[in-house]
Structure 1
Amino acid sequence: MKKISILGSTGSIGTQTLDVVAMHPESFEIEGLAAGSNIALLLEQVRRFKPRRVSVATKELAAEIRASLPSGIEVFSGNEGLVEIAAGGDAEMVVTAVMGSVGLQSTLAAIEAGRHIGLANKETLVTAGHLVKALAVRKGVKLLPVDSEHSAIFQCMNGENREDVASITITASGGSFRDYTRDQLKNVTVEDALRHPNWSMGAKITIDSATMVNKGLEVIEAHWLFGLSYEQINVLLHPESIIHSYVEFRDCSIIAQLGTPDMRVPIQYALTYPERWESPAQRLSLAEVGRLTFREMDYERYPALRLAIDCGKAGGTATTAFNAANEIAVARFLRGEIPFLRIEEIISEVLQRHINSGSPDLEQIEFTDRTVRELASSL
C-alpha cells in the first residue's frame, strides 16, 4: 500500500484526494493529515482514514482535539506541524494542497526527506521555483502536478522528447466574470465572484480565477515544472473547460488532454502514476457537449495575468512579491474591505515599489513575502 500524507486535508483538493483514496482502500494508506481550523471535518476524516499523525492551525486547537482523537495519534500545530506531517512519519508521497505560500517550507521539508510530491500548491513554485526544482533533482524526488492544466501537459508530454516541444497552451475558463466588461466589474460582490461556472474550488482560488491571477500563477508554475521559456507558454480562453491544456510539437502536431471538469482525475493520476485506474469522474461525451469554443486572451481585460507573466520573466523575488500582494488583496476583498478591481491595483502598486533581487535564497524569499504582505495590507 502506498502511504500518503495530505497537507490541507479539509480543503477542496484535500477532500477530493480522500475521495480517490476511499475508492481504492486496498492501495492507499493515509499516514498524516494537516488541516487548518475545520476541526469537525478533520475529526470525521481521522475516524474514517485512521492516520497516525495530524496537525491543525494552532496549539489551542491541537489541545482541543486531543481528547477527541483515538489514542496513539500524534498531534502537531502551526507551520511546524505542517513540516512534521510533510517530512515525518513513513509517507512515500505528500499531497501539498494548502493554499498560498505557507506551503513552501513544508514542501521543501518533504522533498528533503525524499517524499514524492503531488503538487497542488502552485505558490510553492511561484515563490521559490529555483530552490524547489534544484532540491527535487538532488533528492531524486518526483514533482507530480495535481492542477488539471499541468496534469494535462504532463500527460501530453509522456513518452515525448522535450526538445520536440514547440509550445504549450494552458486553457482558462475565464472565471465568474468572463462575460463582464471592465465597467461591469466595478460593483461586483464577493458572492458574485465565488460563483465559478465550471469548477468547485475554494474561495481564494475562485477569486484568482475571476482576476485571472490563477492563470498567471499557472504560467509561472509551468515554466518551472516543464523547463520551458515564457515565450513557449500560451494562455487561451476556453469557457467549456473540456480541453484542460495542450502541447504543440515542432512538427506542428498538437496533443491535447480532454475530460469533464473533475479534479479527481488529475489527483488520481498523480497518486497512481504511471498507471491509470478506474475513476469516479463522469465520462466525457463530445456529442453531448456539441461544440468547444475558444477566444484569444485579452490582457487589457485581465491585467493581472500580464503582471504575473512579467514577474515570471523578471525572476528573482518579483514572483514572490506578486503572489504575496495577491494573497493579501484577495483576503481583503473576501472580508469586504476593498472592491474587486482594487485587487489588481494593489498588486500593481506593490510591484511598482518592489526592488527585485535575483536568485534569492530562502531567507530573502521569506523577507520579501513578509514585507510585501505588510505593504499590501496598508495600501
Structure 2
Amino acid sequence: MKKKIAIFGSTGSIGKNLIELIKKNKNDFEVILLAAQNNTKLLVQQAKLLKAKNIIITNSTKFEKVKSKKFDFKIYSNFNQLNKIFTKKMDYIMCSITGLDGLEPTLKSIKYTKKIAIANKESLICGWNLIEKELKKNKTLFVPVDSEHFSIWSCINANKISNINDIFITASGGPFFDLPISKFKSIKVEDAIKHPNWNMGNKISIDSSNLMNKVFEVIEAKNIFNLSMKQIKILINRDSYLHAIVNFKSGYSKMIIHETDMKIPIFNTLYDDKKISELKNLNIKKLNQLNLSYPDNNKFPMLNILKIVPDKFTLFNTVIVSLNDILVDLFLKRFIKFQHISEILFKILDSKKFSKFKSVKPNNINDIIKTKKIVQMEVKSNYNHYYE
C-alpha cells in the first residue's frame, strides 16, 4: 500500500531533496498535499509531476493568480483547511517551512499524521513544548531531520535518555574557521554565504559562518532529547563527515557518519529497511582525517549564547531566534557589518527588558508571536540608524 504523504515547504531545499527521493520511488507514495509560499511556478510543476491531490499557496496574491487557472489538483490559500484536505490520516508529513511561520502549520498538522518529520529549527527551538504536547496527545511519531539531530535520534534508538552521559554535534567551522580575527571586520556578504561543504540558502549560510547555527542545534537537542545544556558539546569536523557522537553512561559511544547530502537523513525518515539508490562506499580517507577540535569562542562569540540559555524551556529562545533573524537580514541587506550581528545581539540579550524572558514559559503560539513582535520593535526603535 502506498504511503500517504504531505510536504510543507516543498519548494525549499529540504522539500526539493524529498521530492527527488519520491521521484525515484514513485510506487511507494501517494502525494496528498504540497505547500509553499512564493515559488508557485515550481510548486505547480511539482504537483503535476507527482500527481498531488492538493496544494496550498500562502501568498494571497500568487494564490489568486494560480487559482484562476484549471488544474487537476485542488488549491487552498492557508492551513486552516487541513480538515478538508486530510480525510484520512497521513502516513508521513514533512514540515520544512522556514522561520517561525512554520510553527503554526506544524502544530495544526500533528493530529493528521502517524509520523511527522520536522526540519524547521525555529519551531523546535521556540515551540517545542507546544509541539511535544500535541505529539503526546495524538500519539504521533516525531523524527528530526537535521543531520545532527537525526544522527542523535538514530544513536539513541531503544536506549533511554537517562542512559546518556553527553552528546557531541559537529560543525564544519564555516568559511571563516581559518581566517584571523583581525580580518573579521572586512567580511562581506559574498564571503559569508560561501559554505565550504553544504549548499544552503543565504540565511542559514550566514548562521553557519558565525556558528549561530550550532547554537540553535544545541538548543534543539536540549529540547528534543530532554538534556541539560552542559550535556551537549560542539566539535569541529571540517569535512562535515561526522555528524554526532553519543556517549552512554555504560562506557560505550556511538557516532554517525555520512556524506554531505541531506537526502541521506531525509531518506531514513521515510524508510526503515530500504537501500538508498545513490549509496556511496565508506570514505576511509575522511574517516582517517576527522581531526576533531573544539571551536574558538573568541573567534565565534555567538557560542557564548549557550552560557546564558536556561535549561528550562522559556520564551528567551524566541528572543534569540527573532533577534538573530532581524540582524542577519540587516547584514544581508548590507545595513550592518558582520561583527555587528553578535555585538547588537548580546547588547539586547543582556538588557533587563529581555533577560526576564528566561523565566517566562510560552503557553501558546500567541505568546511566541507576541515576543517576536516585541523584539522587532526593540531593534526598529533603538537601532533605526542601521536602516538608513
TM-score normalised by length of structure 1: 0.92
CA offsets per residue over residues 19-73 of structure 1, 9 Å max, x none?
11112111122211111212222122122112222122421101112244513x2
Letter in 2 for 1:140: K
Question: Which of 281, 285, 302 is matched with 2:300 structurally?
Answer: 302
**Unpaired runs of at least 5, structure 2:** 384-388
- Matches for 1:1-379 after TM superposition, within 5 Å: 1-68=2-69, 70-71=71-72, 73-77=73-77, 81-82=78-79, 84=81, 88-89=85-86, 90=88, 91-272=90-271, 274-287=272-285, 290-308=288-306, 310-313=308-311, 315-351=313-349, 352=351, 353-354=353-354, 355-356=356-357, 357-362=359-364, 363-378=366-381, 379=383
Per-residue Cα deviation, 1:205-242 (whole angstroms, up to 9, x for no partner): 11111121111111111112112111111111111111
Moved more, 224-233 or 84-93: 84-93
Contact conserved, 1:308 with 1:319, CA < 8 A, in 2?
Answer: no
Q: Give ranges in structure 1 of 5+ residues lacking alignment.
A: none
Q: Shift in Å at residue 251 of structure 1? A: 2.7
Conserved? CA contact 2:192–2:205, under 8 Å: yes
**Alpha carbons of structure 1 residues 114 and 39: separation in structure 2 relative to 1, 3 Å:** closer
Give 1:88 deviation, angstroms: 4.0
Relative to structure 1, the CA distance from residue 175 to residue 338 in structure 2 (aligned partners, 3 Å threshold; closer, same or farther) is same
C-alpha RMSD over aligned residues: 2.0
What is the TM-score with the length of structure 2 in the denominator? 0.90
SS state of the match for residue 359, structure 1? coil
Residue 386 of structure 2: aligned partner = none
Between the aligned residues of both structures, percent identity stands at 31
Q: Give 1:322's aligned amino acid.
A: I
Q: Contact 1:7–1:97 at 8 Å: present in 2 too?
A: yes
Contact 1:30 1:49 in 2 (8 A): yes
Letter in 1 for 2:329: A
Q: CA deviation at 1:160?
A: 2.5
Deviations 1:178-213 (A, max 9, x none): 222332221212111111101111221111111211
SS in 2 for 1:26: helix
SS at match of 1:313: coil
Contact 1:329 1:377 in 2 (8 A): no
Change (3 A) 1:231 1:88: farther
Tell me if the contact between 2:175 and 2:209 (Cα under 8 Å) persists in the aligned partners.
Answer: yes
